[in-house]
Each structure stands twice: as C-alpha cells, then as structure tokens.
Amino acid sequence: MSEYRPDEGSFNVGGARIAIVVARWNGNITENLLNGAQHALVRHGITESDIDLLRVPGAFELPLACQKVAKSGTYDAIIALGCVIRGGTPHFDYVCSETTRGIGEVALNENLPVAFGLLTTDNLEQAEDRSGDISENKNHENKGEEAALTALEMISLFRQL
Ligand code: INI
C-alpha cells in the first residue's frame, strides 16, 4: 500500500492546466498509471478540458516531450508517466537513468513542476502492484495517482510563493 499521504483537499489548484505525458511501452501498465492520474486530478476539481494528454513511444522520449510542453508556457505542471521493466541487458539502466536525469533537468531548467511517475521494476508483477486499478480497490497503490497528487501539491505550493 502507498505510504504517500498528502493533505488531500488543501490544494489551491483552481483553474490549473496540466499536461500528462505518457509512454506507450508497457502500455497495460502505463494506461493504469494514466487512469490513476486522471482520476486524482478530476477528484481535486481539475476540469477535463484543462488536462492535455500526450503519448510518446517510450520512457526515453519523456524528457524531450516534457521540455517541449514546458516551453509552451501553457501549463502549471506536467505529469510524466512510464514503465521500465528490467530485462537481461544494461539497456534498463541506461533508459532509467537517462529518463530520470532528463525529467529532473526539465523541471529545474523550465522552473516547472514535473511529477515523476516512472515505474522502474525488476518484473511485471512489481509493475502491476504499483499501477493498481484504483476504481476496483481504493487501497491499491497507483504511482500515477501519486504523481498527480504531487503535481497538485507543487502547483499549490508555487501559488503561495
Ligand atoms: N521503454 C520503456 O518505456 N520501457 C521499457 O521497459 C523499455 N525497454 O525495456 O527497452 C523501453 N525502451 C524504449 C525506449 O524508451 C525508447 O523508446 C527507444 O529506445 C527509442 O528511443
């Protein structure tokens, strides 16, 4: 079960515009992350017309797409979603580290919250455990939902500063 316990309901996010960038690799998992993120945003009053969705081929493409989105100046936050599952080659480590570094760089360079919803797991089972169907059981862990709540908290924080 998730250990992240945000102070739900205290977010100041009225009128916020949010982009979700989701990778198609491991699509069964990333679609569940996307569902979790969308549910969390709508639950907190973000209207569907204020949520834009972009799809990229794989996790490695997330940073560049996030950068393009950030430079548009249209959004209050970005949620990056993807899933990398360890295989038998060093490819996993390269994709994970470059994606992580790139997403972090976009946030710092563009001065914009970019929530990190990238699963990096040893196997499919771990990925499934972290991308639970939130409509089926509220206690399922869903890192997409957590990333969305992080984005909302950061928007709220930025509005205080
Ligand atoms: N992309 C992922 O999102 N997840 C993976 O598990 C994965 N693996 O295992 O290779 C993956 N690779 C593709 C990569 O992200 C790029 O799309 C590709 O290298 C083209 O740039």
- Pick the residue whose CA is nearest to atom 7 on ligand 1: 84
Q: What is the pTM of this model?
A: 0.94
CA distance 147 to 122: 20
Task: Give me ligand 1 centre to Cα 92, in Å.
Answer: 8
**Least confident stretch, 8-22, 97-111, 126-140:** 126-140
Please state, in angstroms and as integers, the Cα–Cα distance from residue 109 to each residue in 27, 67, 86, 114, 161, following that order. Answer: 29, 9, 29, 11, 18
> What interhelical angle do 62-71 and 91-110 show, nearest 10?
10
Indicate whether 6 pLDDT > 90: no
Superfamily of domain 18-160: Lumazine/riboflavin synthase (3.40.50.960)
Whether the pLDDT of residue 64 is over 60: the answer is yes
49-58, 101-110, 130-139: lowest mean pLDDT where? Answer: 130-139
Closest among 57, 116, 126, 121 to 87, alpha carbons compared: 121
The domain spans of the chain are 18-160
Closest C-alpha residue for ligand 1 atom 5:
84
| Contact residues of ligand 1, CB 6 A cut-off | 23, 25-26, 57-61, 82-85, 87, 91, 95
